[in-house]
Amino acid sequence: MDEKKQSIINQSFHSEFLLLEFSEVRELQILHFFGFLVYYLTTVTGNLLIISAVASDYRLHTPMYFFLMNLAMQDLGQVSVIIPKSMANSLMNTRHISYSGCVAQVLFFVFCITSDLSLLTVMAYDRYVAICNQLQYEMLMNKQVCIQMIASVWITGFLYGVLNTGGTFAPPFCSNIVNQFFCEIPQLLKLVCSDLNLIEIGVVVLGAAYASSCFIFIIITYVHIFTSVLRIPSTEGKQKAFSTCLPHLTVVSIFLTTSVFTYLKPTSNSPSHLDLVFSMIYSMVPPLINPIIYSMRNKEIKFALSKLLCLGHFSLNNFSSLIL
Can you give the pLDDT at residue 16? 87
The domain tally of the chain equals 1
Q: Where are the alpha helices (DSSP H) in 133-234?
A: 137-140, 143-169, 185-189, 198-230
How far, CA to CA in Å, does 222 sit from each of 87, 126, 219?
39, 11, 5
The pLDDT value recorded for residue 118 is: 92
* pLDDT, tens digit (0-9, with 9 covering 90-100), for 261-299: 776 665 555 556 777 888 888 888 889 888 888 766 677
- pLDDT on residue 9: 44
Residue 46 maps to which CATH number? 1.20.1070.10
Q: What is the mean pLDDT of the chain?
A: 81
Q: What is the mean pLDDT of residues 47-69?
A: 89
Non-local (6+) Cβ contacts of 297 within 8 A are 243, 320, 324
- What pLDDT score was predicted for residue 207? 79
For residues 29 and 90, is the Cβ–Cβ distance under 8 A? yes
**Is 182 within 8 Å of 82 (Cβ atoms)?**
yes
CB atoms within 10 A of CB 231: 8
The answer to whether residue 207 sits within a structural domain is yes
pLDDT digits (tens, 9 = 90+) for 112-130: 999 998 998 999 899 889 8
CA distance 253 to 247: 10
- Contacts (Cβ under 8 Å, ≥6 apart) of 169: 103, 106, 188
Asked if residue 308 belongs to a domain, the reply is yes
> What pLDDT sits at residue 249?
76
Question: 10 Å Cβ neighbour count for 144?
Answer: 8
The answer to whether residue 2 sits within a structural domain is no
Instruction: Quote the pLDDT of residue 283.
Output: 87
Residue 108's pLDDT is 95
* Residues 5-32 pLDDT 10s: 444 444 445 678 999 888 788 888 899 9
pLDDT surpassing 50 at residue 83: yes
Tell me what the mean pLDDT of segment 81-90 comes to: 93
b/e 248-285 (16+ beta carbons within 10 angstroms → b): bbebbeebbebbbbbbeeeeeeeeeeebeebbebbbbe
- The pair phi, psi for residue 232, each rounded to 5°, is -70, 125
Domain that holds residue 258: 13-323
Q: Are 280 and 258 in contact (CB under 8 A)?
A: no
Q: Is 5 domain-assigned?
A: no
Domain assignment present for 6: no
Of residues 124 and 151, more confidently modeled: 151
Q: What is the mean pLDDT of residues 153-180?
A: 89
Q: Is there a domain that residue 7 lies in?
A: no
Please indicate, yes or no, if residue 209 is contained in any of the structural domains.
yes
If pLDDT is split at 50, 70 and 90, which confidence band does 4 have? Answer: very low
